[in-house]
Amino acid sequence: MSVSVWDGLSVDWTNLYGQDWNVQASDLEAFGPEIRRAAAEVTRIRESGCGPREGEKVLFPRLPYLLEEKRLISEAEIEAMNALAGECRDGVDALISVGIGGSYLGNQVLFDVACGSYWNLMTAQERDGRPQVFFAGQTADPEALVALLHYLRSRAAEKKGSYRVLVLVISKSGTTVEPSGALSVLERTLPEFCNVRFAAITDREKGTLLEQCRHKGWTHFTVPEGIGGRFSVFSQVGLVFAALLGLDGEGFLRGARQTEEACRSEEWKTNPALALAAMKYIATVRYGITAEVTMPYGNRLRSLGGWYAQLLGESLGKKNTVSGEPAYGGRTPVCAVGTTDMHSLTQEHQDGRNNKLLQFIAVEEAAEDLPFHLEEGGRPCTVPMSHVLQAALQANAEALASAGKMSCCLSLHRLDAEHLGGLMYFFFLTIAYEGAMAGIDAYDQPGVETYKAILHGDLAAYAD
């Protein structure tokens, strides 16, 4: 059964709901109290901006209206963002985005969708004056940063001193190890061989990075209060980066807004996000689903799986409910991409343990196409590559269903800023609803603090 969220975005849960081997109508009826509680909870969050814990702000439902209502962004920030984007075009050779987690993953998706795999191999003219784009601070692996610096030094040597680099640092606190360490290296090294400028997206009122911006006169933007990292792609974190790429930020928010307005009902039958969240929750607590495989069919959406993995894992992977009772623990996120991983992971999906739910993502209208010349049934045939991609997705879903394996599919009419925004925001809502069904706080992340304390304890031994 395919249900339209809005014209251009739909969800098909044929292989997740309504058959004798998957979620039943009777299940939705039995879990009615949890579903109604979740619907009311998300409505309350929309209206109050308050999370499930006392004093917790949760403002992601306001992000689709960011540029209209200007409650989470100032007019001065919008002007500064547009000015920086204008200066970046034809004025910057390389843009380095420094960040990790929610300060990196969403922007990687924006880059992949807007620019594609071979952006950095194009000429400046082919890029319409936009810079090459690189990411740093998303790992502590020294080889990655050394290789980036080596590449930039080589390009600067070719331009004989006129090479221009913009470093955009994204960190709310400014103390996260990987991006703060990468910034220290870039700030020390880049001026040796190029003209470099720094800008930042950080906390509005406090923090190491904010102090650095004020002291050094760097352009800086804010991460709005009440917006966690994994929900930040529709905030300044994503919009500033999108502006530097030339991606349609207004269209990105417009897609999110259409999804938000289509998914406000407190009845699951008229709210696709609530319905899908309920089906996933029931599949987890009643049918033994412990893993969720996100599998977009399209190379430009490859990084979407990593972004969604953080959203799912950090939001639903909780030890306790808000009231202190043991929680169900969410699902382990797994990333795949079609058709590539049909030749590596599908064997296990098909014949392995029945504990996985596959979430396919399809793009109905290819931006470009080519013919495949094949031989089928002993006869030559010519098939559009886009048809092969879509047929492979359908074949995968049908094969899994024949083995009693659950899946769902989200379809975009085409892959552009508006449709991407609608899809990513739809995931926000499904996570919010499912977290409320489970009675957990989907907006905190206490589990990551354990390893951070151990890591900082180790690093403290190097203090002067």
Element at 355 (helix H, strand E): none
Q: What is the pLDDT of residues 287-308, one digit of tens each?
A: 999 999 999 999 999 999 999 9
- Which pair of tokens denotes residue 428? 């926000």
Identity (one letter) of the amino acid at 442?
A: A
- Which pair of tokens denotes residue 459? 């690093």
Q: What is the pLDDT of residues 216-252, one digit of tens each?
A: 999 999 999 999 999 999 999 999 999 999 999 999 9
Please tell me the distance from the alpha carbon of residue 222 to that of residue 374, in angstroms, as a whole number: 53
Domain count, the chain: 2
Q: Based on the fold, state whether residues 292 and 436 are members of the same structural domain.
A: yes
Average pLDDT over residues 306-335: 96
Q: Based on the fold, state whether residues 178 and 307 are members of the same structural domain.
A: no
Q: What is the pLDDT of residue 452?
A: 87
Q: What is the pLDDT of residues 97-123, one digit of tens each?
A: 999 999 999 999 999 999 999 999 999
Q: What is the pLDDT of residues 373-418, one digit of tens each?
A: 998 989 999 999 999 999 999 999 999 999 999 999 999 999 999 9
Q: Based on the fold, state whether residues 122 and 269 are members of the same structural domain.
A: no
Domain enclosing residue 279, as ranges: 2-56+259-448
3 state DSSP class of 312: helix
Q: Based on the fold, state whether residues 35 and 110 are members of the same structural domain.
A: no
pTM as predicted: 0.97
Q: Based on the fold, state whether residues 27 and 131 are members of the same structural domain.
A: no
Strand 164-170 versus strand 195-202 pairing type = parallel
Q: Based on the fold, state whether residues 189 and 324 are members of the same structural domain.
A: no
Please tell me the distance from the alpha carbon of residue 131 to that of residue 421, in angstroms, as a whole number: 23
- Which pair of tokens denotes residue 154? 């080589």
